Amino acid sequence: MSRILLAALSLALLPTLGAAQEGLPAIALSGEDGTTYSLTLQILALMTALTVLPSLVLGMTAFTRIIIVLSILRQAMGTQQTPPNQVLIAVALFLSFFVMQPVLSEIYDGYAAPYLDGQMGAEVAIRGAWESLSGFMLANTRQNDLLMFSELAGAAPYESGADVPVSILLPAYITSELKTAFQIGFLLFLPFLVIDMVIASILMALGMMMLSPMIVSLPFKLLLFVLVDGWALTMGSLASSFAGAL
């Protein structure tokens, strides 16, 4: 886990290439190409990376699909705020790291570690890391979504996945994740909906109109979920639903 976190942070904190502006205090941090970075630009790059990092975690990893499915599952069980939002986010984040472990390990071993050791330039490291991450995104993006955004952008069909630009891959990937998440959520919702309908029919047949079916069906839904080991099935199904990861 520590290597995965280090890989994600090292990618976010890779400094952008560029010469220091005149008038800014510079520190003797010269790379192989003779570029000097000023202290002000380093702090600006760091703050920018920390600002963009949450968006990268949300939109370019497995987090979106997982958190949506878990939210739909909680609503289907009718447990209101149990588990709370903080727990769902933590579960989704840790499961996302588990799913993304091969990709992040490849990025760290192949690009982040050599860059930190001074064996690779920043531009080469960023390009290689993006190729690894885009491979995961392309494997989980529907071709119809790629074609739709390509047509909207007025771009010609691409010969390979490596030719797809970032401006098209990102919206296509997030659109595919949303569709997949709602499809999985629909399948999870069905058994709980059947229990609600059965309980409501029984209460109506008994003439107990004033008793809420949701209150009566909640213990049965929790019992069913525990008996089938629902959390393990849900986590396993979510982890195996990603292509090009595990």
Cα separation, 140 vs 61, in Å, equals 10
Cis bond upstream, residue 83 (ω within 30): yes
Give the pLDDT confidence of 58-80 residue by residue, as tens digits.
Answer: 888 889 899 999 999 998 888 87
- State the average pLDDT over residues 155-172: 78
Please choose, from the candidates 76, 78, 194, the residue with its C-alpha nearest in 3D space to the C-alpha of residue 202. Answer: 194
The most confident of the ranges 9-18, 84-93, 194-203 is: 84-93
pLDDT-above-90 percentage for the chain: 13
Average predicted confidence (pLDDT) for the chain: 77
The most confident of the ranges 120-124, 164-168, 173-177, 210-214 is: 173-177
The dihedrals phi and psi of 38, each to the nearest 5 degrees, come to -85, 160
**Across-strand partners of 38?**
26
Neighbours of 160 (CB within 10 A): 7
On the question of pLDDT at 245 being above 80, the answer is no
The dihedrals phi and psi of 239, each to the nearest 5 degrees, come to -65, -40
- With residue 91 as reference, give the H or E element that holds it: helix 85-107
Strand, helix or coil for residue 30: strand
Confidence at residue 90, expressed as pLDDT on a 0 to 100 scale: 92
On the question of pLDDT at 11 being above 60, the answer is no
On the question of pLDDT at 31 being above 70, the answer is no
**Residue predicted with more confidence, 126 or 95:** 95
pLDDT band at 34; cut points 50, 70, 90? low
On the question of pLDDT at 132 being above 80, the answer is yes
Residue 243, token pair as written in the block:
């292509």
CB contact at 8 A, 221 and 192: yes
Confidence at residue 41, expressed as pLDDT on a 0 to 100 scale: 64
Residue 198, token pair as written in the block:
């059965």
* Model pTM score: 0.74
Cα separation, 86 vs 37, in Å, equals 39
- State the average pLDDT over residues 172-179: 91
pLDDT band at 229; cut points 50, 70, 90? confident
Confidence at residue 181, expressed as pLDDT on a 0 to 100 scale: 92
Strand, helix or coil for residue 26: strand
Measured CA to CA in angstroms, residue 138 lies from 75, 166, 209 at distances of 30, 11, 52
pLDDT band at 165; cut points 50, 70, 90? confident
Structural domain spans, the chain: 2-240
On the question of pLDDT at 1 being above 60, the answer is no
Measured CA to CA in angstroms, residue 179 lies from 44, 113, 149, 199 at distances of 37, 35, 15, 31
